[in-house]
Structure 1
Amino acid sequence: MGGIEAGGFRVRRLGAAEARAAVPELAEVLIDCVAGGASVSFMAPLDRGKAVGFWQGVADGVARGERVLLVAETDGAGPEPERGIVGTVQVILAQPENQPHRGDVSKLLVHRRARGTGVGAALMAAAEDAACDEGKTLLVLDTASDGAERLYRRQGWVMVGTVPGYALWPDGEPCDTVFYYKRVGAGVRSL
């Protein structure tokens, strides 16, 4: 599928077959993020089999049209000499029947070696575009990352609130989770 190129990396949407083929690289990104302390639903140390199983399930969801999977890939020409997937994000499209306009942004993951290069911002912009392409006008997400919060605020996301102790850090310590929303797409009106 098509994509956008910027700063030595390309962001693109994966179809089901591409998602299945990318499972090993996606597992590496997830393992790296958990090892780096990200609270993204998994505990450390994250077993490769568990990471692979998670991404196989994501690929199945892409095949069923339940989610969009976007990746950022380095081209080997920028500051990041290695080629391959360095970031990913998903838009969960499958929602209850009374929420067909809503999508959940999930698992914004950027490999530690690619942080600070614009990968996260590019992935979030692509996620918004993909959600609009799917007819979504409201996006929600949650995060436990101060760095991600700065990114979301810069991109116009609105903080709803914080739930103390909502999840755990990979080391088992409780962490607070902050919830955000953003209205997207043509014809979006303010409340």
Structure 2
Amino acid sequence: MPDVDIRVLTEEEALASLPSLADILSDCVEGGASVGFMQPFPPNAAVSFWKGVAAAVARGETVLLGAEVDGRMIGTVQLGIGTMPNQPHRADIKKLLVHRSARGLGLSRRLMEAAETEAIKRGRRVLLLDTATGEPAEAIYERFGWTRAGVVPDYALMPDGRYCATTFFYKHL
């Protein structure tokens, strides 16, 4: 396994990594991942999304973690900490993305463990996430110790336009 560096990115580092981040998101959507975008989704379409994430990092609403090999970003996950005043103890896991060329290296697990560590550092002990029902990511979260809260039919669209159910998970740290 190559040497992987997983770290929290600042706004400046996120902006400097825009091409790699955009490539990861585009690759995942083009590969069929239901992460909020529709096909076709070229990397240049992802740039504005990542600029928004960088701005959320600057405002302290999002913790952006990146996985790099040889200086190339190959995976990422976000910890949404911009919660309402009555939710200072919880956070949302958003957009666990690993480039298809880097799958099978255990990056999803390492990114999720890093996100959990960052959550604890920030006093967050309840994490939530959602994922497309029946897709490979659903089984990943179960293996990582997350608890299924329920399924909402026709919650979102797959990148090709089909309706998909969404499974909600939580984890107490």
- Per the normalisation by structure 1, the TM-score is 0.86
Residue 27 of structure 2 is matched in structure 1 by 32
Residue 50 of structure 2 is matched in structure 1 by 55
In structure 1, what is the Cα distance between the partners aligned to 2:57 and 2:128? 19
- Count of equivalent residues: 172
Offset at 1:7? 4.7
Q: Does 1:166 align with 2:150?
A: no
Amino acid at match of 1:70: L
In structure 1, what is the Cα distance between the partners aligned to 2:138 and 2:64? 21
Aligned with residue 180 of structure 1, among 153, 169, 173: 169
Identity, % of aligned positions:
52
1:2-21 equivalence runs, <5 A: 7-21=2-16
Whether contact under 8 Å (2:65, 2:77) holds in the other structure is yes
Larger of the two Rg values belongs to structure? 1
Residue 72 of structure 1 is matched in structure 2 by 67
In structure 1, what is the Cα distance between the partners aligned to 2:148 and 2:13? 34
Offset at 1:47? 4.0
Residue 126 of structure 1 is matched in structure 2 by 114
In structure 2, what is the Cα distance between the partners aligned to 1:39 and 1:154? 20
Aligned to 1:135, the other structure's residue is in SS state coil
Residue 139 of structure 2 is matched in structure 1 by 150
Extract unaligned runs of 5+ from structure 2: none
1:72-151 equivalence runs, <5 A: 72-75=67-70, 83-144=71-132, 146-151=135-140
In structure 2, what is the Cα distance between the partners aligned to 1:85 and 1:49? 16
In structure 1, what is the Cα distance between the partners aligned to 2:145 and 2:110? 14
Amino acid at match of 2:81: L
In structure 2, what is the Cα distance between the partners aligned to 1:101 and 1:87? 26
CA RMSD of aligned residues (A): 1.3
Offset at 1:49? 3.6
Extract unaligned runs of 5+ from structure 1: 1-5, 76-82, 185-191
What do the CA deviations read for 1:21-65 (whole angstroms, capped 9, x no partner)? 111110000000000000000000114343100000000010111
